[in-house]
Structure formats: C-alpha cells, structure tokens
Amino acid sequence: MSVVGLETEYGVFVTGLEPGQRVPDPISLSEAVVQAVEAPGTTWDYADEHPLVDARGTVLPRRVAHPDLLTDEVRQANRLLGNGGRSYVDHAHPEWSGPEVLTASDAVTWDRAGDRIHTLAAQRAAERTGLRIHLVKNTTDNKGRSYGCHENYLLPRSLPFELIVEQFPGHLASRVVVCGAGRVGLGQQGQDPGFQTSQRADFFERLVGLETTVRRPLVNTRDEPHADEREYRRLHVITGDATLNQVATLVKVGSAQLVLQAIRAGARVPQPSDPVAAMCTFSRDPSCRVRVPCTDGQARTAVELQRLWWEQAQQVAGSPDTIADASLVLEHWGRILDDLDVDPMRCADRVDWVTKLRLLEAVRARHGCGWDDPRLSALDLRYADLTEGLFDRLETGGAVQRLVGDDQVSRAMTQPPRQTRAWLRGTLLSRFAPHVVAANWDRISLATPTGVATLHLTSPLVGGEQEWRSRLESVDGPLALVELWKSLGWDSSSSI
C-alpha cells in the first residue's frame, strides 16, 4: 500500500480597495480565511512536530535553522477537520493539507474538496470583512516569492534514502511537462518575457536539502513520518505545481507512487547529469523537444525520460501491493506522453500548462502582443483564481476532462476517506467534537470524566471504516471510547 497526502498553500489578495484604505497584511488575511472555514474540527496538537530531523541522520541545531523551518513554534490559526484534513495558516498563506489516502484518485477528490472548502471560506471572510478577497491556487506571485504545493509519500524505512536521491530526481525534473501549471514570465521574479511549463522550476537551487523556502532542493530531507519512525519515512516532495486539471493531479500523484514503487523493486534508469538545471531547461521548452545530457552519455527530452519511468511503472503495476488505480494512472500518463510527443496542444484538456497556453495564445493572436504584455500576466492569475472561477467555467463547459464529480467532492468536504486512519480520526473528531481537546495526524486528546486521555494512531493503515464502524456503534461517549481502546489491548497512552 502507498499512502499519500497533498498540501496546498493558496495565494490570497484583495482588490477594490478605496483610495487611502489600508491594504490588509497577508497573515491577517489568511487567518480570516481559515477562521471562516465552517466544519467540525479541533485545535492542532504540535506535540509530534519535529521539523529539524534530517533523513541523512542528523538534526539541524535550532539556533542555526531558518525561521521558516520552525513550524513547531508557529501558533497561527490551525485546525484538524472532520473530513480528515487540516486547514491552517502557513506563514502568510491559507493552507489545506488533505487527509491520508491510498490512491491518486482519492487524492484528486480531497484536493478538490480542499479547494471548495477554502473558496467558500474566502467568500465568507469577504462578507465578514467587507473586503473583496481572492483565493488563488498557484505557486508564485511573480515578484520573487514562491509557495508550495507539496506531496507526501509514505515509504518503508528499509528503502535506503540514498537510493531515492539517486533515482527520483530525474522523474521530478522531467515531469514538469506532464503536470506543470504553466507560467507567464521567466526567472524568480518573472522579469524576463516568455512562457514556461512550471511555476516552481526557477526556484530550485540544489539537489538535496532540508529547507523548503530557501535554497530549495529537489529532494527534501525532512524526516517527520507522522507514523512509527522505526517502520516508515515520509518523503516530502516540494517541487510540484498546484494543478487544477484533475487528470494532471491524478498523474502527478499516481506516477510518483508508481515510480517510487519501481525504485523499491530495483528499477534503475538514466538520470539527467544535472537534474536541477534539467528541470529549468525542460520548463522553458513548451515544445518538449529540448534534450539534456544524461548519466549514460545520451541526451534525452523530458518526454523521453518520463517514458523510461512509465515503462518501469508498467512492470510493477501488476504486483499485489501496487496502487488500486494503477491502470487508470498509466493510461492517462501514457496518453499524455504520446500527445506531447506529437503536439503538446493535444493535451489542452488535461494538462494545466497547455490549457493555460491555449488561452494565452488566443489573446496573443487577437491583440498581436508579446509575452511582456500585462494582459497575459493578468490572465495567468485569473486562471488560478478560485474565487473568480475561470477554471471552473472551463471544466463545466467541457473544455477540460473531469474525473471526479461534484457529488463526490461535496461528500469529501465533510467525510473522511474510508481506507486509512483518516476515517477513524475524522469520525471521532466529528462525533466527539465537544470533548476533543486537540489532535494531529496520529493522536487525539479527549476530555473524559476522569481526565484527558490521548489516543494514538501511529499507523496510517490502521483505522479504516471497515474495521472500525461496527466497533464504534456501541460507543456513547469519550469514556466508553477509552474503554474500547483498552478492551482491544491498548490504553490511553499506547499506539494502535
């Protein structure tokens, strides 16, 4: 089984201010959005935050850590929700962390649910504050700042981290043509005219490292599994763009799951000689024809590198422990690669950078403008503006493919996924909300008549609906829940 979770930091800004009206600071604006989320939930428990532990076997001294790394010291709006996810302020952005799921298809569903939850929250915040608040799903403000759309993959601790560093960067560097969000402007500040396939590519500076906001690495080494550290590690992937196309999100997540499974199974493919430079090169080539030198002496395009991993993924997709939607992921991934090879515009209904480029080229043809025209930058921003809903109109109108329907998304806004501990955690948060003191991914603390009891859920694979629904039928309060825990051989301080 391959457990995965997505995190999205949203851009947020206001328009329509009156002359002389003070521009709200981004932290206050973000807190207004998160505080407007209407869902059962509880305060976040920081007890298991260990942001300075490095997968290379060291712990970064707190005195030399960049302040952005000290996530265990930040006490901004932060809630765990009944649908299994987390809504909080990360520095100066509203952020949604989706619940643990087993498939890329479920990742798409709860990713879209998070977008809907926070779009509605932004609308409520606007009504309360009298401000015109925009929530944007992108990863750069084109003024030198980038914010993340992170992926998390649970891996066995037995898989050597050095092997991930050796093999995974080639996939991360080349996938920008498959699941990039597209960007008007080149360079960290977007100072040079042009268009590229990825919003994040220009912000990476090295191969391996612990940081996420400065000197960004392709392979992040944060070793914070949110699970039994003896058995698991969590690979925190920070290179991805925030995608709106459901197919692009499916392939982004599913291809990474399959590539990591292939690496565990022994797959080895040639890597770009300089993966960091290769990602930038590939991003700046919407034709998908530029080649970079690889470790075997050959030069390859991004599509050719992706094809190598697609072939390896095919070989492991039939194994008993593969992801349940492997066939769907391989089908969409392979079709995207086929179409990129012929004409990238054939992917306009599935891949965000191509969808966006089609819109931009229509404006360029109509007005005869170059890439430095501000109307193009404005359209780039509008595409990602969830409040304005341009992408929703494209999707509703059939211009892009849809995998998950509105009914599924609506359910995911309030219901947790059924196959991981997110179901038990979310169900307990909703059912016992008045008694829950605090919670995080792997613990829930409840007030009982005899004191506060903390229930631990250290395995993401334990706590699904099938094994727990019948057990909870006779539980009528927090004390009975603790007694159930004990009857199964656990106590309020042991792990399940």
Which residues are the active-site residues? 90
Which residues, in sequence order, are bridge partners of residue 424?
A: none
Rg (CA), the chain: 22
Cα distance between residue 434 and residue 374, in whole Å: 51
Which residues, in sequence order, are bridge partners of residue 160?
A: none
Cα distance between residue 3 and residue 409, in whole Å: 20
For tokens 């929530």, what's the residue? Answer: 135
Q: Is 438 helix (H, G, I), strand (E, B) or coil?
A: strand
Token reading at 56: 């290379």
Token reading at 163: 């092997």
Supply the angle between the helices 465-472 and 421-431 in degrees, to the nearest 10.
Answer: 30
Q: Where are the alpha helices (DSSP H) in 149-245?
A: 161-174, 176-179
Token reading at 34: 């998160």
Which residues, in sequence order, are bridge partners of residue 453?
A: 446
Note whether 182 and 353 are within 8 A (CB). Answer: yes
Among 120, 96, 128, smallest CA distance to 38 is for 120
Supply the angle between the helices 161-174 and 275-283 in degrees, to the nearest 10.
Answer: 20
Token reading at 225: 């599994």
Residue 308 CB: number of other CB atoms within 10 A?
18
Query: Phi/psi zone of residue 214: left (φ > 0), alpha (ψ -120 to 50 degrees), beta?
Result: beta
DSSP 146: B
Q: Is 49 helix (H, G, I), strand (E, B) or coil?
A: coil
Note whether 2 and 126 are within 8 A (CB). Answer: no
Among 56, 114, 397, smallest CA distance to 233 is for 56
28, burial (CB in 10 Å: exposed 0-12, middle 13-18, buried 19+)? exposed
Among 150, 128, 143, 277, smallest CA distance to 201 is for 277
How many degrees, rounded to 5, is the angle at CA 428 between CA 427 and CA 429?
Answer: 90
